[in-house]
Amino acid sequence: MFITLKNIFIFVVISLSTTIGYSQQQSVQLANEYYRLGEVDKALALYADLAKHNRNIAAIHQNYLTVLLELEDYKTATKYLDKVIKWFPKNVNYQVDKGLVLLREGKEKQANEYINRLIEQISVDRYQTRRAVQHMLRNQLTGYAIRALETARVKAKDPMLFAIDLANIYRLQNDKQKMVLEYMNFAIQNPRNLQYIKNTFQVLLTEPEDLESLEMMLYDLVQQNPDNDVYAEILIWVNLQQKNFYGAFIQARAVDKRLQLGGSKVLNVGVIALNNKDYTNAIAIFDYLASTYPQSNTAIQARLYRIKARENLVKTTYPVDLAEVRTLVTEYDRFVASFPQSNFANQARLNQARLFAYYLNEKDSAIQIIEQLIKQPRVRLDLVAQAKLDLADIYLLAGKPWESALLYAQVDKTMKETPLGYEAKLRNARLAYYRGDFQLAQEYLDILKLATSREIANDALDLSIFIQSNTALDTSTTALKKYAGIELLLYQHRAAEALTAIDSMLVAFAGHELTDDLLYLKAGIEKRAGNFAAAATLLQQIVDKYAEGLLGAKAYYELGRLYEENIGDKEKALELYNDFLRKYPGSIYTTDVRKRFRVLRGDPNYVESINPG
């Protein structure tokens, strides 16, 4: 092959370039190693030499600039950056660095003018703006970062632009008011972001004062922007977090009407109020839905939920009025007659069966209703499973634990890995507990601690801890077996026998770890019997002697509710709630206590019942 002089020249150039490139790569690595080891002089000499060639800048820039700033060699740093900016005019990070050098040098006025000019130049380019902002934040130039985002927002004439970026900056600054506004702007940009915002607020707004501040802000925003659904949606969410179901109802009603949702949003609030035991507001909400949307599926659901709320109200008004229970049975009959083909009719029958079994002592009637329901064709599988669980409970009520265990096992098998399946396993665990077979109960509970349903997992954990804590010191489990037997008596509505057993146990096991639990059970029996003064005395004993125990906060909470709801001494309840908030600020009952305190104190937006008209 004939080799020309030209080919030799090209080969030599490539070889030299490769050699030089490899040599400089080694120099970069060596300089960075000197920098890491703190040998600044050696690193500086190598960086200065490497900085003569633009191909090395990306590899050495951050460390070289850091060394120059540490040495306060601002003249060299400025000269270096001017050269780099000339080589890479589109790299906005180098321009930000020049402003940083001016600030470090103490030339704040000059730096401010320079960075503001830069912000103006890049503000029409969203990519460059975001890149510059990220670099500013890395160098703690937070004020300039905010200014850059706000300038770009003004130039784009888009008040929501960069909302999530600003929200995250304010979050880091702990400026909750501005953070909240920007997160809401983010939701306004796209309603699909709304759930993300609610989840974020759930994590960040942990103090009651945070929610109260957000609530006040939202009331102003809703008034100023009555057609903005995002503000209304978040206000509904805030009220629900505070258990202010009246406030949530007002906002949900407005959204429902504006968006013509047929009452679905209001129904959701009503169900949440029902689940949170605010029966008065729940009933009023369901009445509103039944009268406002009379021919709709929503109205049918509301009517059934209304009976359920009335039922819960009757069952928690002590002593329970059996005449009212009979009225509820009649109401369920009327509902089934009005909507015989509705899926809700079967649920009504199931609810009615429970009343027969638990309150009217007509177990045969209850069993007959449920067995007919189970045999019916086209009944939803989950409702059949629920019916079997209820039938098992009634068998336990009638003193037939083996029949109960078999039905629980059936549901566990057919509804495996579902909430109903987990519920069946939990009830079997309780059955084992009632019978004193704590080892079997623990085997069920160990599985349920990993259940996907938080409520079931928590219930399983509570019972597991209770068993463990009361078998650790008493390996004979004699006391715990007697206590579990008392709980079974209470489940079977054999209150007189349970009361006798409690008094006997308090004497036989004086000073035992279960003493506060026994007092709490006794207080519950007295309350259900309408003996509110006796119940208050028992709860006060727990508060006085066992305030630091697991039942301390719970007993204090129940004592406040007893004075508020049953004894009718609002001043005493207010005093107890105020004391509770001071003693147990981190309790699971704190949110409800705070709400009750505000209602009793007469705070605005907190009223005790709804007047939909």
Among 19-23, 67-71, 514-518, 549-553, the minimum mean pLDDT is found in 19-23
CB 285 within 8 Å of CB 269? yes
Report the C-alpha gap between 516 and 357 in whole angstroms. 30
Decide if pLDDT at 172 tops 80.
yes
Residue 540: count other Cβ atoms within 10 Å of its Cβ: 16
Report the amino acid identity of residue 50.
L
Interval 441-467: pLDDT, tens: 999 999 998 877 788 888 999 999 999
Is 341 a member of any domain?
A: no
Per the model's pLDDT, the better-predicted residue between 12 and 155 turns out to be 155
**pLDDT the model gives residue 599:** 86
CB 526 within 8 Å of CB 540? no
pLDDT class of 411 with cuts at 50, 70, 90:
very high
**pLDDT the model gives residue 320:** 93
Decide if pLDDT at 18 tops 90.
no
Report the C-alpha gap between 124 and 298 in whole angstroms. 50
CB 276 within 8 Å of CB 241? no
The mean pLDDT value for 48-70 works out to 89
Structural tokens at position 337 = 């007659």
pLDDT class of 24 with cuts at 50, 70, 90:
low
Is 325 a member of any domain?
A: no
CB 391 within 8 Å of CB 407? yes
Is 153 a member of any domain?
A: no
Is 34 a member of any domain?
A: yes
Interval 532-560: pLDDT, tens: 999 999 999 999 999 888 899 999 999 99
Last-in-domain residue among 52, 68, 94:
52
- 602: three-class secondary structure by DSSP: coil
Decide if pLDDT at 12 tops 80.
no
**pLDDT the model gives residue 103:** 95
**pLDDT the model gives residue 26:** 81
Burial of 12 (0-12, 13-18, 19+ CB in 10 A): exposed
CATH of the domain at 580: 1.25.40.10
How many structural domains are present in the chain? 2
Among 107-111, 241-245, 515-519, the minimum mean pLDDT is found in 241-245
Q: What proportion of the chain, given as a percentage, has pLDDT over 90?
A: 75
The mean pLDDT value for 34-39 works out to 81
Report the C-alpha gap between 120 and 125 in whole angstroms. 10
Report the C-alpha gap between 456 and 427 in whole angstroms. 10
**pLDDT the model gives residue 40:** 79
Report the C-alpha gap between 548 and 567 in whole angstroms. 26
190 torsion bin: left (phi>0), alpha (psi -120 to 50), beta (else)? beta
pLDDT class of 14 with cuts at 50, 70, 90:
very low
Query: For residue 527, how many C-alpha atoms fall within 13 Å in the half-sphere facing its CB?
Result: 23
Report the C-alpha gap between 481 and 236 in whole angstroms. 47
Total-model pTM:
0.77
pLDDT class of 23 with cuts at 50, 70, 90:
low
Is 185 a member of any domain?
A: no
DSSP letters of 84-109? Answer: HHHH-TT-HHHHHHHHHHHHHTT-HH
DSSP 8-state class, residue 193: G
CB 40 within 8 Å of CB 71? yes
CB 343 within 8 Å of CB 380? yes
Structural domain span for residue 527: 514-601
Distance of CA 148 to the CA centre of its chain: 34
Is 26 a member of any domain?
A: yes
pLDDT class of 474 with cuts at 50, 70, 90:
low
Burial of 3 (0-12, 13-18, 19+ CB in 10 A): exposed
The mean pLDDT value for 525-531 works out to 95
**pLDDT the model gives residue 384:** 96
Report the C-alpha gap between 514 and 463 in whole angstroms. 14
Is 120 a member of any domain?
A: no
Decide if pLDDT at 208 tops 90.
no
Decide if pLDDT at 227 tops 90.
no
- b/e 356-374 (16+ beta carbons within 10 angstroms → b): bbbbeeebebbbebbeebe
Mark out the alpha helices in 205-342 (DSSP H runs): 208-224, 229-241, 245-259, 264-275, 279-292, 297-315, 322-338
CB 103 within 8 Å of CB 111? yes
Report the C-alpha gap between 459 and 454 in whole angstroms. 9
Decide if pLDDT at 2 tops 50.
no
Q: Which H/E stretch holds residue 157? A: none
Structural tokens at position 227 = 């057609």
Structural tokens at position 402 = 């083996």
Among 29-38, 254-263, 357-366, 403-412, the minimum mean pLDDT is found in 29-38
pLDDT class of 8 with cuts at 50, 70, 90:
very low
**pLDDT the model gives residue 161:** 95
Is 176 a member of any domain?
A: no
pLDDT class of 41 with cuts at 50, 70, 90:
confident
Interval 240-269: pLDDT, tens: 998 899 999 999 999 999 999 999 999 999
Q: What proportion of the chain, given as a percentage, has pLDDT over 70?
A: 94
**pLDDT the model gives residue 4:** 56
Instruction: List strand residue ranges (DSSP E) for 115-221, in order.
Output: none
Query: For residue 287, how many C-alpha atoms fall within 13 Å in the half-sphere facing its CB?
Result: 13
Average pLDDT for the chain = 90
CB 422 within 8 Å of CB 448? yes
**pLDDT the model gives residue 429:** 96
Q: Tell the residue number behind the tokens 């937006």, with chain if given.
A: 605
Q: Tell the residue number behind the tokens 């007092």, with chain if given.
A: 519
